[in-house]
């Protein structure tokens, strides 16, 4: 039989999953409207093809998509599966935040949830528009300030060092690319992102975050160029890979660092 503590934990999981889906639905609004300068509040949710205004039963996360078979109720045009992907990704990351941090640090758990939602927006907006909005950088930095004083595994100075190192390394790459290659190897948004991510993670976890982002980005770019037969200097967004690296480092960075040290001293 379930005791009170187990029941409370179950309730937290259920609440995190449901709220994660609902917040994920709002993230879809942000991802679609923010790059176009459209208000996030008006007009209400509607089909971008025919303008049909969604009723409440058309806007239930995941369920409405499945019941409508991925099509608009009015015009029958296909709805992008990205909407469901965003909702499910946000819910799963919120559940992972509960699983890893609920019994360790409630404040850091909340930070991990907010960061997960922010980075989902960064991932999809930069993927489509090659743009990381400053408001995301600021919010990520604010989460970093909270993490600096609540992270159970690092001291506050590690986070400050992470911000300085992340910003300095990426600024060096940015200006070095302009000086040597006469082109931007990455954007200023990536520089600001690296500083904010360093503040969030601390310098120790920033290292695997950058490594994961860089390696996965390089593999993707090489594969994409070969598949598409693209030109050598075709530009690709780096933000999505940094976002994935940041999430992996935030959730599993300490385990990755521990594994690496154990491997060194076997």
Q: Which residues are within 8 A (CB) of 183 and not within 5 positions of it... i.e. 6 or more apart? A: 177, 233
Could you tell me how far CA 102 lies from the centroid of its own chain? 20
Q: Are 164 and 198 in contact (CB under 8 A)?
A: yes
Identify the CA nearest to 170 among candidates 197, 152, 151, 148: 197
Q: Are 74 and 81 in contact (CB under 8 A)?
A: no
Q: How many domains does the chain have?
A: 2
Mean pLDDT of all residues in 54-68: 87
Residue 189 confidence class, pLDDT cut points 50, 70, 90: confident
pLDDT at 1 over 70: no
1 in helix, strand or coil?
coil
Helices (H) and strands (E) in the chain, counts: 9, 0
- What is the domain range of residue 210? 131-266
116 within a domain of the structure (yes/no): no
In this structure, the answer to whether residues 143 and 257 fall within a common structural domain is yes
126 within a domain of the structure (yes/no): no
In this structure, how many other beta carbons lie within 10 angstroms of the beta carbon of residue 180?
Answer: 9
Q: Are 20 and 12 in contact (CB under 8 A)?
A: no
Most confidently modeled range among 24-28, 60-64, 235-239 = 24-28
pLDDT at 4 over 90: no
Q: How far is CA 230 from CA 110, 227, 240, in A?
A: 42, 8, 20
Residue 46 confidence class, pLDDT cut points 50, 70, 90: confident
Identify the CA nearest to 170 among candidates 182, 162, 181: 162
- Token pair 């965003």 is found at 86
123 within a domain of the structure (yes/no): no
In this structure, the answer to whether residues 152 and 220 fall within a common structural domain is yes
In this structure, the answer to whether residues 140 and 259 fall within a common structural domain is yes
| Higher pLDDT among residues 59 and 232, named by residue | 59
């Amino acid at each position: 039989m379930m005791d009170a503590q187990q029941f409370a934990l179950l309730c937290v999981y259920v609440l995190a999953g449901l709220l994660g889906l609902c917040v994920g639905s709002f993230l879809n609004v942000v991802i679609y409207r923010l790059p176009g300068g459209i208000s996030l509040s008006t007009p209400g949710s509607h089909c971008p093809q025919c303008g049909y205004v969604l009723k409440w039963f058309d806007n239930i996360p995941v369920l409405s998509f499945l019941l409508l078979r991925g099509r608009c109720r009015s015009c029958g045009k296909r709805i992008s599966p990205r909407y469901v992907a965003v909702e499910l990704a946000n819910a799963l990351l919120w559940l992972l935040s509960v699983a890893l941090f609920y019994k360790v640090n409630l404040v850091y758990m909340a930070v991990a949830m907010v960061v997960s939602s922010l980075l989902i927006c960064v991932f999809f907006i930069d993927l489509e528009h090659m743009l990381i909005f400053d408001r995301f950088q600021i919010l990520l930095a604010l989460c970093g300030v909270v993490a600096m004083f609540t992270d159970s595994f690092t001291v506050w100075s590690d986070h400050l060092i992470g911000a300085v190192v992340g910003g300095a390394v990426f600024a060096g790459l940015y200006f070095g690319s302009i000086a040597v290659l006469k082109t931007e190897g990455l954007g200023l948004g990536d520089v600001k992102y690296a500083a904010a991510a360093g503040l969030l993670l601390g310098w120790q976890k920033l290292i695997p975050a950058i490594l994961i982002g860089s390696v996965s980005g390089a593999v993707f770019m090489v594969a994409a160029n070969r598949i598409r037969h693209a030109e050598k200097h075709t530009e690709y967004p780096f933000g999505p890979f940094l976002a994935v690296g940041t999430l992996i480092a935030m959730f599993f960075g300490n385990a990755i660092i521990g594994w690496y040290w154990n491997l060194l001293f076997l």
